[in-house]
Chain A
Amino acid sequence: MGRGADSDSDPDVEDDDYYGASAKASTSAAARRAPLTSTAGNSQAQKASKAIARERRNYHIHRLYVRQEHKECLAVIEEVLGEFGGLCEYPIYVRALIKRHEGKIAESLTLFQAATALNPHNVANLKQVGRSLYLLGRHRAAIDVYDEAQNAVGADDWEIWHNKGLCYMYLKQFDESVECFKGANDIQRHDTTYAQMGKVYALQEKYNEAVDVYLEALEFSPENPEVLTTIGLLYLRMGESFRAFDYLGNSLTHDPRDPKAILAAGSIIQDNQDVDVALIKYRVAATQTPNSAQLWNNIGMCFFGKRRYIAAIACLKRALYLDPFEWIIAYNLGLVHLNTGQAASAFHFFSSSINLKPDFPSAYMYLAVTLAKLDDHDNACAAYEKAIEMDPGDHLFHLNYALTLYVAGEKERCVERLEVFEGLWKGLDDETKNVDDEVPKMRGLVRKALGMSDVFGGGERSAVL
């Protein structure tokens, strides 16, 4: 009797593929299941037929799972599990996968663990346990499981490397992470691995390396719009807008409705003063992401470029309503208000922009221009000083400062600033000089005014552009 109770619980770990491995347990199981026959050969045959019976419906389960007919699949699994007392590896495995599809990771983890308990030698189970742990955010535990899997499998498996890399990435151990991804790529190359590696580099702000990785990925799969978009965005971040545009344009030919690519491409088009084309692009994006603050910001600036100030303010305000933390929207609103001559409103927007992002020197300059318009000369000067202190190399700061000083009648300091400006101006290349034709005009005006002192009025406004 005692023996019988033992054998009831004992052979649970055994599975049909590996029945030879734990000889003692399996014989006892056979003894229990076939108590009338005692010859070894007979029990062996029975077991084989049992094993076949157990796997008989696996093909069916697999087919249903691949067809994503999850409901029927679960029903079949239920049946099979009921038939064999829950001791079948594959149905449990598939059930766990379906649970994961439904977003129930914790349940799927227990199922995978059950499958591993049934068959500890199957690496697929171990990998899935690791994956579940990773999805649950328990990265350290996941790495341990993957290590175990790596020892078990002997040969290299890119998936294990890749997933380990992911875990390291979330643990912020970037060097290990990159190592793992490289290991994965050495075995077999995959888009996802490249994408993740690029992401790790981008997280560390090593954009050049990131671009290299993505370019390599592009060689491998040249028509992946996501990779193209990402490269475009990285180039944009590095300030190489022409190359960025190439890639973004490519990406848009493959997927013309991707809002991210549209937004990025639109911003480049906009930078090149082709406002109408940009607006058309944004129209496509607006139907998909009507609540995107960035999109409304760009649309607002398009209208600003077309000198339709009311529309611009409306769009920018909507953007600010949607995302009050975005400093650049406040900054843009300040610009538009400054242009429409509403200096008090402009001041508020510049100051909130500076509150949100205190390390953007241009905002200080515009704040200074605004303050000068509001006749607050001392604070205007302070703001200029602050801007220049943060970035002494920007010629516009000095020119505008000179203008303000001139208007306030401080000619000596004005000349001083103008000289600094001249020095910087000479150092610029022609392309930068031609970006804004107001600057040389203004320069001429101030020089003339300083020489002849009379013909001058309302200077700052145009320099602001």
Chain B
Amino acid sequence: MHHLNATRDYDACIDLCTKMLEKNPYDQQAWTRALTAKNWIDETEMEEEGVAEIMMDENATAQVARPGTSFARPNTSASRAGGGVATGLSSFNQGMRPMTRAGAPMTGFARPATAARPSTGSSRDTIETAFRGSGRPGTSRPVSSAARLTRLGTATQLSEPGGPFIDVDKLDLRKYAQKDALARALIEYIMHHDRNPKKAVELASLATVNANFKDWWWKERLGVAYYQLGMYRDAEKQFKSSLKDQPMIKTVLQLAKVYIRIDQPAAAMATYVKGAELFPGETSMLLGQARIHDALNDMHLGVPLYKEVLKWDASNVEAIACLAANHFYTDQPEIALRFYRRLLMMGVNNTELWNNLGLCCFYASQYDMTLACFERAIKMADDEEAPDVWFNVGQVAIGIGDLGLAYQALKIAVSVDSTHAESFNNLGVLELRKGNVEAGRANFEKASREAEHAFEPAYNHALLAFKTGEFQEAYERVEKALECYPEHADSVELKKQLKKHFTLL
């Protein structure tokens, strides 16, 4: 049995245990961790926020946070607000680097909970935005509270013959808290298999009292349980006290996670920095810092951290991907290409990678490879990724001047995903070039409705309206564009001209 557990053959292990328990229902040895391990999820990763949490965020201290102090306002990085010079060379520049659908800057690595949170702007606190979710239609449903936890939990309960294995509600937790080793296994079971944080809190607090408030492990568990219940401040207290007893990597990560959830990037950053001092060479601390920099739009600060990560762990996928993306968006596609090749050699083989390889090849003038890469990407793509790949094919086609191909590729992209805003925007531009003003306008309309974070469709629409003399329309659009990207020089100029029109008697 132990062997099966060690080799991670959890299903076989569970079968065996069930048989043993049938023979002797009180054999406590068979209370195995197999069920727990089967349903294990990494607690140190962030999870998606639910609709209710976005809408009714009771941890927010200010409606409009100061620049650089909130994840919800990534466009207001502290360094930009202070410097005031958006030259696009050092800091983030929307003209060069696209945004994700939720309005956060594009990084090289898709992480949980970076895509969901809607950004600032008029759309922020509306139900529609919260319900839109982060994915494409058909695949996304709004995340309900603690979605990942509950959903995984229900799935296992369904598949379990003969009802739940342990009925926690009927256990006398006080009794089990006395038996330390068993209690540890039990709480893991409660948290990971039953997903019952309330009971977990009960057991953990009893166990902590039992251990005279000296055991870091129980405090940490208690913190996690509080966290799952949404009691972030209590969780913070437990983690801090646990760290005082015994500094552990896991606890530091959990503490930082609490700060990120209550939208305090500075505190999270400080936690990571302290953690990095305590555990030099621990890449997760460095990655944590880099992620916060990315989320706050300070991409250039993240780069040295990723490099540091690679020094310790030369095959860290996240660091490689982020560095590659960073090089790509700072006009060094050749170097990005090398990073992506490294990923390929490490055995990563997916649509995104081939797509990025294709783009890098194109911008590094290696045309023979470009289309081959995209072909592979398309072959592997499912409905969620295909529109992005086709969009990039369209982009490449525009780059080589083959507007017919570009048009077709973009049409395919929107046929797969009828909300692909970027494709609609580019289709609009192509239609305008053909002279189809109305079709172009409709495309921009659609694009700006789908992507409220992007300034391009709004600006294009404004320009079109301005040229046809519809100043009201133009004004509204340009306002929207400036909301997304306040430094966009063309929009500023357009607005100035519109103002002139309005004030002229």
Contacts and interface: CB of A to CB of B under 8 A. Distances in A.
Contacts of A189: none
A35 interface: no
B400 A352 contact: yes
Contacts of B95: 290-291, 322
A351 B473 contact: no
From A288, A327, A351, A354, residue with most partner B Cβ within 10 Å: A288
A356 to B, nearest CB: 5
Interface in B487-505: 488-490, 498, 501-505
A317 B331 contact: yes
Contacts of B476: 103
Contact of B367 (A105, A139, A348, A356): A348
A100 B502 contact: yes
B471 A137 contact: yes
B135 interface: no
B66 interface: no
Nearest to B470: A137
B87 A286 contact: yes
Contacts of A105: 471-472, 475, 502
A330 interface: yes
A141 B367 CA distance: 54
Given A106-B472, A136-B471, A320-B399, A291 B488 contact: yes
A243 interface: no
A135 B472 contact: yes
Contacts of B85: 287
Contacts of B93: 290-291
A322 B88 CA distance: 12
A134 interface: yes
A434 interface: no
From B89, B433, B470, B479, residue with most partner A Cβ within 10 Å: B470
B501 A135 contact: yes
A355 B400 contact: yes
Interface string B75-101: 000000000011111000101100000
Contacts of A441: none
B404 to A, nearest CB: 9
Contact of B469 (A139, A330, A351): A139
B502 A103 contact: yes
Interface string A212-236: 0000000000000000000000000
B37 to A, nearest CB: 48
Contact of B503 (A101, A321, A354): A101
B437 interface: no
B331 A318 contact: yes
Nearest to B330: A318
A285 to B, nearest CB: 10
A292 B491 CA distance: 12
Given A134-B469, A136-B471, A290-B489, A351 B479 contact: no
A103 B399 CA distance: 37
Chain A contact residues: over half helix, strand or loop, or mixed? helix
B1 interface: no
Given A135-B472, A136-B472, A321-B363, A292 B489 contact: yes
Contacts of A42: none
B475 A291 contact: no
A86 to B, nearest CB: 24
A101 B502 contact: yes
B470 A348 contact: no
B480 to A, nearest CB: 11
B292 to A, nearest CB: 26
A318 B501 CA distance: 34
Contacts of A290: 86-89, 93, 95, 489
B433 A135 contact: no
Contacts of A351: 400-401
B403 interface: yes
Interface in B358-400: 363, 365, 367, 395, 398-400
Contact of B398 (A259, A314, A324, A354): A324
B363 A353 contact: no
Nearest to A134: B469
Given A104-B472, A289-B489, A356-B403, 8 more contacts: A103-B472, A103-B476, A106-B472, A137-B465, A170-B469, A192-B504, A290-B489, A327-B401
12 contacts: A103-B472, A105-B502, A135-B471, A136-B470, A137-B470, A286-B87, A289-B490, A291-B95, A291-B489, A321-B363, A322-B95, A352-B399
The 4 closest A-B pairs by CB, nearest first: A355-B401, A352-B401, A137-B470, A291-B95
